[in-house]
Structure 1
Amino acid sequence: MGLVFSLPEEAVAAIGQNLGSSGWLLIDQKRIDTFAEATGDHQWIHVDPVLAKDGPFGTTVAHGCLTFSLINGFLPELFKAEGMKMGINYGCDRLRFPAPVPVNSKVRAVGELVHAELLAGNAVQTTVRVTIEIEGSTKPGCVADMVGRYYF
């Protein structure tokens, strides 16, 4: 577990802290196809292994937005507010997809608390930079600055 905090001031005091990494997750074709079905994005580079074999990546690749959406599942392994009354996903300040995530790759999240500020009403707004690493790759599949609000 990365950072666990139970007071807004504890988050502010931890600015700059490396939050460690999550466990690895396999990105198989079934996950990619399920995401395509849910979003209506059936572009061949994602869902057609035969065409993708001769495409720019040599195989199917995960949708960028699929890779991004995994952050919500990984984040509790990196950053947790205990005893809060409510937490909300406030948004994303920065989002990039530096490298494609090939089918059957494993990915994990690495985090850093880059900003935290106290809000009125015993709350804190945080920005956690989450990097989705691809096992065996020097470039990440996604980098996002996730903004959250936690009310105590």
Structure 2
Amino acid sequence: MTHPHSAPQRPPLPRGWKRFVARLPVHLYRIGLGPLFGRRLLLLIHTGRASGLTRKTVVEVVEHDRAGGSWTVASGIGPEAQWYRNLLLTPQATIQVGRRYYPVTAQPVTAEEGGRLMARYAPRHPSAARRLCRFMGYDIDGSEADHRRAGESVPFLRLEAAPGSY
């Protein structure tokens, strides 16, 4: 396995038709088909760092705390993801899960907690965890320890619902 503190080689961001396919869930949310994704994906509506304009992206929910009203998401392309960088600067955002909207505040997750998140996520979604680790440049054997080490380098954000909104 690549050491999680070294910089693994990540593939380039999708372009052309691959970018269109990657952005397709945003368009499906826009036309009212967000409920098709259930609780596995959410639409993140946030503010662009430089432009101040509203930006939208669909991200996978790694963990959902129903009692506390929070959703944890990961940046599969690392800390360079525009949505991730935008939320670090302006953590107030809105998410859409199914047909419901929630005002949220983004909180970075520590590397240690990221390792625990990935270790819990991998058994629930083994192929998605393998793809994420591979995309992030890690060659893992599927063990909990490998997932934990990889998760320590994945940037996670916890999206906390505003009090009274959940």
Q: What is the TM-score of this pair, normalised by structure 2?
A: 0.29
Instruction: Pick 1 or 2: higher relative contact order, CA cutoff 8 A, min separation 6.
Output: 1
Q: What is the TM-score of this pair, normalised by structure 1?
A: 0.31
